[in-house]
Amino acid sequence: MTTTHNLGFPRLGLRREMKKAVEAYWQGTINADQLARTGRDLRRHHWEIQQQAGIDWIPVGDFSWYDHVLDTSCLLGCVPERFAHPGGAVALDTYFRMARGRAPSGQPRPACEMTKWFDTNYHYLVPEPTPDQAFSLSSEKLFEEFAEAREILGDKAKPVLLGPLSWLWLGKCHAESFDKLTLLPRLLPVYGEILQRLKDQGAQWIQIDEPILALDLPPSWLTAFEQSYHQLQIKGLNLLLAVYFGPLAGNLKTACSLPVAGLHVDAVRAPEELSRVADWLPAHKVLSVGIVDGRNVWRSDLDEALEALASLHDRRELWLAPSCSLLHTPVDLDAETGIDAELKTWLAFAVQKLEELTLLKQALDHGPEIVADPLEASRRAIASRRASKRVTDPAVRRRQAEITPAAERRANPYPVRREAQRAKLDLPLLPTTTIGSFPQTPEIRARRRDFKQGEISADDYTAFLKKQIAFCVQKQEAYGLDVLAHGEPERNDMVEYFGEQLEGFAFTRNGWVQSYGSRCVKPPIIYGDVSRPRPMTVDWIRYAQSLTPKPMKGMLTGPVTMLQWSFVRDDLPRRDTCLQIALSLRDEVADLEAAGIGVIQIDEPALREGLPLRRKDWPAYLDWSVGCFRIASSGVRDETQIHTHMCYAEFNDIIESIAALDADVITIEATRSKMDLLDAFAGFEYPNEIGPGVYDIHSPNVPSAEEMATLLELAAGKIPLERLWVNPDCGLKTRQWPEVDAALGNMVEAARILRRKYS
């Protein structure tokens, strides 16, 4: 008999109840009891949904008010000193202060660092163990939720826990050259206690997530896995070790031989490994096959899945699951109203994915005839998607096939272009600019809403936006900036804005996915070949340029970022979709140039986060992603200056690829690291121009001209002056006008201080 289970359910709620409740609590409009009640209701509802979908073992402990890694840190009593945790159970407001720096009670403190969860767009809070960290069971949350769940689900409640090795791996110890593994002997007894308590409460199976087994691990960590799991054995308690997001590869034998009762593997990301796992995993252990894609929104090809499972099913008892937690998918397709009927038949959100698992189980155990009707419906949907004219566009395919290597290269190398650009743009030493967006005021958001709801006409909306652009241009001239931006008032989101104008993209109305804490995103769905029916930005930029003699930057989102922040096709390699977006952007770049725009910025903030989990896969990714950027940007004349922007500070391991983009100017985030990251550029002798940010836009603080001049001096010590630009770290969208007025005025003054000094 086949068993189904789920690894994790979306926490947000269909109407983002979790977000609303937690934000209301932060604002003081509901109290902790009310918050707790919403949590209980949501969890109960989610368990019932999963039960109704026919799932056998249902996860408990996957719910969180902010992040499950933070939950685990609190469970283990790992609270950084600055939060003044007195010991005992971690208070709710301490938890929120760790998450976001402040809470209704307690002193505000710098929040814990937040970073991306593997290669997803979900962010977790980085554990901060110290070398002398003591651990103790410090939260009742998991046990309380398990007790709640047992009332509803009975024995079929399955607690979920982030494993000790993955928790440690994800942590950052601020002491230098400290080996985190030395903490294990202190950590494991607490894990032992947790497991024992859950068993005493009636747990039969516990899912213990060790996603780091999908990474390249040092041998000492693999050894630590063996030792740890030997120590965590408890008689009568079954541990299901869950690995997801990629193949086990070199970790396969270790994973299969650990003394646990079952192993979950990601058969979507690593289908080719499934039979090896089945060979190596002892027959008495449960094999959980992650057969339904937990990272994407497509309906499964059930015939294909059944074929992959058939031979395994003959040999051993199988568990079926989504490839990973469903945290990364929207909740329920049935509640979606923004997607047309045809496209909808091609999709599956969390609820539908669970229903697919139940179908697969029935087909395996009783033969496909027993579910003939739903199987047939699924087959029809898959066939309709394959054959659809909306999916494949012969013109796009032809163009893709005809690309020559020349399309990836500017006509001349940077030194030649530089002279042409100098002559054309006539910029001072240390030119000043911004990253693009200016404050998105409540007024702008209100007008956009009015327009979307049909309450104001397109003409009125356009007139309003033009006024905003004119206002931004005036402001920038008054600050004395050298290269201006139009301010992006027409854009709600840097991907959505372009996706809405491209063929092949669709947008949901309710397809929310948690990004971090209460922040949700609605990723676009790329379902077909991408092309650009008409120019997307040219009218706005041309208008902005008409208002000023200074150069106006064209402002585009790069192909890799658009790919990275969308749900992508599973019927076409990512690189091909990326190339299609790049070709669309290439046309936009050409149109901007033809409209007289001399500086064009193509933002790629997501280039780095697209790096594959395994190093061996990096070169291929960097090769196509850099190639796509170059295809988007290389069709211009020498004198047209291409900028790119990236807002992160880790360039060391990809600096060659950054240089290979061959952008004339790159603007990056540098304020917080005090220009340290420029060492990567200096060491590599980065050949083109760089604008290291001197104004940290993530903070409401306004830096003085002197502070920024000091940062510029630091930069000038590393990068030749004539190749330095002066700009903020990122766009100014989230800031207020008074801060921007003061900060940009100071920034221009800082550039002047240095110009006086050096010329």
Which residues are near Zn ion by CB under 5 A? 605, 647, 730
Give whichever of 412 and 699 is closer to Zn ion, judged by the CB atom.
699
Kind and range of the H or E run holding 318: strand 318-322
Binding partner of 436, given ligand GLN, Zn ion, none, CB within 5-8 angstroms per partner class:
ligand GLN
Binding partner of 494, given ligand GLN, Zn ion, none, CB within 5-8 angstroms per partner class:
ligand GLN
Q: Does 675 bind ligand GLN (CB under 6 A)?
A: no
Give residue number: closest CB to ligand GLN. 731
Residues 288, 363, 731, 751: which binds ligand GLN (CB under 6 A)? 731
Q: Are 225 and 182 in contact (CB under 8 A)?
A: no
Q: Does 608 bind ligand GLN (CB under 6 A)?
A: no
Nearest residue to 60 (alpha-carbon basis) of 191, 148, 167, 122: 148
Select from 70-78, 245-253, 632-640, 727-735 the region that touches ligand GLN (CB under 6 A).
727-735
Token code pair at residue 614: 């395994």
Give the 3-state secondary structure of residue 113: coil
Q: Does 437 bind ligand GLN (CB under 6 A)?
A: yes
Residues 148, 603, 664, 729: which binds ligand GLN (CB under 6 A)? 603
Give whichever of 262 and 605 is closer to Zn ion, judged by the CB atom.
605
Q: Where are the beta strands (DSSP E) in 524-579?
A: 525-531, 553-557
Give whichever of 80 and 731 is closer to ligand GLN, judged by the CB atom.
731
Burial class (CB in 10 A: 0-12, 13-18, 19+), 662: buried
Which is catalytic among the residues 174, 230, 366, 698? 698
Torsion 652-657-663-669 (CA) sign = negative
Select from 310-318, 650-658, 688-696, 728-736 the region that touches ligand GLN (CB under 6 A).
728-736
Binding partner of 579, given ligand GLN, Zn ion, none, CB within 5-8 angstroms per partner class:
none
- Using only C-alpha atoms, what is the Rg of the chain? 27
Q: Does 730 bind ligand GLN (CB under 6 A)?
A: yes
In the complex, the smallest distance separating the C-beta of residue 151 from Zn ion, rounded to whole angstroms, is: 47
Task: Report d(CA 24, CA 681) in Å as an integer.
Answer: 44
3-state helix, strand, coil in the chain (%, to 5): 50, 15, 40
Give whichever of 317 and 493 is closer to ligand GLN, judged by the CB atom.
493
Task: Enumerate residues 538-557 that contact ligand GLN by CB under 6 A.
Answer: 555
Torsion 167-168-173-177 (CA) sign = negative
Q: Does 494 bind ligand GLN (CB under 6 A)?
A: yes
Token code pair at residue 733: 């969208």
Q: Does 645 bind ligand GLN (CB under 6 A)?
A: yes
- Known catalytic residue at 5: no
In the complex, the smallest distance separating the C-beta of residue 729 from Zn ion, rounded to whole angstroms, is: 7
Give whichever of 502 and 730 is closer to Zn ion, judged by the CB atom.
730
Binding partner of 437, given ligand GLN, Zn ion, none, CB within 5-8 angstroms per partner class:
ligand GLN
Q: What are 623-628's contacts with CB under 8 Å, separation 24+?
A: 624/575, 624/578, 624/579, 625/560, 625/575, 625/578, 625/657, 626/657, 626/660, 626/661, 627/408, 627/579, 628/559, 628/560, 628/575, 628/578, 628/579, 628/581, 628/582
Q: Does 435 bind ligand GLN (CB under 6 A)?
A: yes
Fill in the amino acid letter for 718: K
Cβ contacts of residue 341 below 8 Å, gap of 6+? none
Give the 3-state secondary structure of residue 290: strand
Give whichever of 496 and 638 is closer to ligand GLN, judged by the CB atom.
496
Give whichever of 9 and 516 is closer to ligand GLN, judged by the CB atom.
516
Q: Does 733 bind ligand GLN (CB under 6 A)?
A: yes
In the complex, the smallest distance separating the C-beta of residue 501 from Zn ion, rounded to whole angstroms, is: 21
- Answer left, alpha or beta for residue 635, where phi above 0 means left and psi between -120 and 50 means alpha: alpha
- Rule CB under 6 A: which residues touch ligand GLN? 435-437, 488, 494, 555, 603, 605, 645, 647, 730-731, 733
Annotated catalytic residues are: 698
